[in-house]
Amino acid sequence: MALTAESITTTALDILSRYGLGDLSMRRLARELDVQPSALYWHVKDKQELFVLIAKRMNTEVDARCPAPSDPLAAVLALREILLTYRDGAEIMLLGYSIAPDEVTPASLAVQSLGAETSQGIMAHALGAVAIEQNRNLFDIETSDSGEFFAAAAGRLLKSPAE
C-alpha cells in the first residue's frame, strides 16, 4: 500500500477503534504502516494535523448521510451515531474541531447553514454529550436513555427563536 494522507488516516482510525486515543501515537502509526516515523511527516505535518484528518473523515461520513442542506437535527443525530462507532470518536472530533472547526463541521451544521451561535452551540452539545457518553461507557455506567436526551436537547438548540 502506498503511503498517503488517506492511508495514514485509515490506519489511524483503525488504531483508534482498536486501542483508543491513548495508544494513537505517530510511532505506533508508523509501525502499523511498516514505515519509519519520519516517513509520516512527508504526508502529515504533525499529530494535530492527523487529528484534523481523522475528524474530517468522520465529517465526510456525516455529510454522505446528510448532505447540505439537510435537516440539521438529522445531521447532528448522524454525527452522534458516527462518533459512537469509533472508540474515543468524540474526543478526536473535539480535537479536530478545536484546531480547524470549519474543516470538520458537517455542512448541515456549519456556520453558513445555521449561523455562528447555533452552529457552535450544536457542535459543543454534540461533542460534549458524546464524549461524556463514551467516557461513561468506559466505566460501565448505564447510558441507556442518553440518545433520547441527546435528541431532545439538540432539538431545543436547533429551534429558531421565533418558534
Name the CATH superfamily, with its identifier, for domain 5-158.
Answer: Tetracycline Repressor, domain 2 (1.10.357.10)
Q: Are 53 and 90 in contact (CB under 8 A)?
A: no
Mean pLDDT, rounded, for 23-43: 95
Query: What per-residue string of b and e applies to 102-137 under the rule 16 or more CB within 10 Å gives b?
Result: eebbbbbbbeebbeeebbbebbebbbebbbebbeee
Torsion of CA 144, 148, 153, 157, to 10 degrees: 140
Q: For the chain, give every domain's residue range.
A: 5-158
Model pLDDT, residue 63: 96
Q: How far apart are CA 55 and CA 57, in angstroms?
A: 5
The answer on pLDDT for 41 being more than 60 is: yes
CB atoms within 10 A of CB 32: 14
Q: How many CA atoms lie within 13 A of 133 on its CB side?
A: 23
pLDDT category at 160 given cuts 50, 70, 90 is: low
- Over residues 106-152, the pLDDT tens digits come to 999 999 999 999 999 999 999 999 999 999 998 999 877 889 999 99
Q: Specify the higher pLDDT residue, 70 or 74.
A: 74
- The C-alpha cell 486501542 sits at 19
In this prediction the pTM is 0.92
Mean pLDDT, rounded, for 65-75: 93
Burial of 146 (0-12, 13-18, 19+ CB in 10 A): middle
- Over residues 90-112, the pLDDT tens digits come to 999 999 999 999 999 999 999 99
